[in-house]
Amino acid sequence: MTFRARIALVAVICGLTVAPAQAYIASNGLLVQPVNATDFFVPFRGRPAASSFWCAAGDYAVRSLGLPPGTRIFRLSAPPRRSGDGILFSLNPEGAQDRGVQVWGSKDAGMSASLAQTYCANEVPLFFSFFD
């Protein structure tokens, strides 16, 4: 497939998967939808691991909201996540659930945005999988 054909394919795919207004697309390709001033939702988009959702949440907090990397993020959706379900996150610890991922030395149910972003290191953006 030529470079131009690949670009055209990506444009078509992006047109078919338009994000809702105000949504953020994280570095791993997951969508993050703000719910209110403190809560945001990461819907399921083909990434089954909880770490993928944390990557998107951390990326959103730092890169979209401009919050300091040490900002705590909390999972409000109780694990385990059922197949096809997304995860609700918050900047507020009220109602926090188990993280669903192993974090050593952490004293609460939250995770810093920078730690959540470290889960992005092993992720390939979703759109790259179309060219494999």
Grouping H, G, I as helix, E, B as strand and the rest as coil, residue 5 is helix
Phi first, then psi, for residue 41 (nearest 5°) are -120, 135
40's tokens: 């945001």
| C-alpha dihedral, 36 to 42 to 44 to 48, nearest 10° | -150
Q: Which residues pair with 89 in a beta bridge?
A: 40, 75
The pLDDT of residue 103 is 62
Banded model confidence at residue 104, pLDDT cuts 50, 70, 90 = low
State pTM to two decimals.
0.74
Q: DSSP assignment, residue 80?
A: S
18-36 pLDDT, tens per residue? 555 689 999 999 999 999 9
Phi first, then psi, for residue 117 (nearest 5°) are -65, -25
Query: In what order do the strands lie in the sheet containing 111-112?
Result: 24-25, 31-34, 39-42, 87-90, 72-75, 111-112
Domain ranges of the chain: 20-123
